Amino acid sequence: MLKKTIIALSVVLLFSNIASAVIIAKINDPNDGHSLAKIIEEEGIIVGDKLFDNFIVSTAKSEDAVAPDEDAITVFGILLDGELGLRFTGGWTAGGGQVADTTLIFHVTADEPWLIHDNSLWMDGYGAESGGMASITENVFASNPLEGYTPSLADKYVYYVGPNNKQLYDHKEFTDAEGNPIALPEIWVVKDIVVAGGSPTEPGGASISQFYQTFSQIPEPGTVALVLLGSLFGLSHRKRTGH
């Protein structure tokens, strides 16, 4: 409870320094979901110290496969394992011989003095049977990959083929071309969300309904908040004592 209170206070104290986005997410509120179309219209969403913006969605799919558009993807602000991020919900489904493939791109900016140094990816709602597969591939970049080649800072892959063939969580530290750890004030994230049904001889389906994305930063939010609280208490003490 104390950690959450400290983080919340730090967010309030630092909101004035974050570039204005109309939508400010309520963290871990299951009733505060926002359609991706609305987030794009309002030019971003703030979760704690981070601004998420420049969302792009592109989908290719087989006939009868299902992939949500911007209106059907809902986004929530989350705090998970001490890290801030987003929860995406939608409905990707493919039957036998079908494929639904969505590319999701967005930009993340951390408020000063925080720098992002790693991120995590979870696939939560999923299913596959008889040769079907559900997967999410992710690459993180220091600059917009649509504007020219830029090396990936971190690659992640989560998937579900069956109970004995799955990886539902992936986490990576950011590194430069030489493999050295780095931290940045802003990054670009590219995801490839794929559900593929089985072959005609194994016509099972596949689905994804929910996944999570969180980001770590340095210094930690609690550390920054404690420094801010110390400054406020010190100021209060000087006012009371006259020193």
Distance, in Å, from the CA atom of 19 to the CA atom of 27, rounded to the nearest integer, reads 19
Distance, in Å, from the CA atom of 36 to the CA atom of 43, rounded to the nearest integer, reads 10
Question: In 10 A of CB 187, how many CB atoms?
Answer: 23
Distance, in Å, from the CA atom of 113 to the CA atom of 102, rounded to the nearest integer, reads 34
pLDDT tens column, 182-222: 999 999 999 999 999 987 777 889 999 999 999 998 865 54
> Residue 217's pLDDT is what?
87
For helices 221-241 and 2-14, angle between their N-to-C axes, nearest 10 degrees: 80
Question: What residues does each domain of the chain span?
Answer: 2-241
> Residue 229's pLDDT is what?
42
Q: Give the pLDDT band of residue 237 (cuts 50, 70, 90).
A: very low
Q: Give the pLDDT band of residue 223 (cuts 50, 70, 90).
A: very low
> Residue 202's pLDDT is what?
75
pLDDT tens column, 13-29: 444 444 454 699 999 99
SS3 state of residue 48: coil
- Full 3-state SS string of 101-134: EEEEEEEEEECCCCEEEEEEEEEEEEEECCCCEE
> Residue 13's pLDDT is what?
42
Q: What is the mean pLDDT of residues 163-176?
A: 96
> Residue 224's pLDDT is what?
45
SS3 state of residue 144: coil
pLDDT tens column, 95-115: 999 999 999 999 999 988 889
Alpha carbon separation from 69 to 30, 74, 103 (Å, rounded): 21, 10, 11
Which one, of 9, 50, 15, lies nearest residue 227 by Cα? Answer: 9
Q: Are 203 and 64 in contact (CB under 8 A)?
A: no
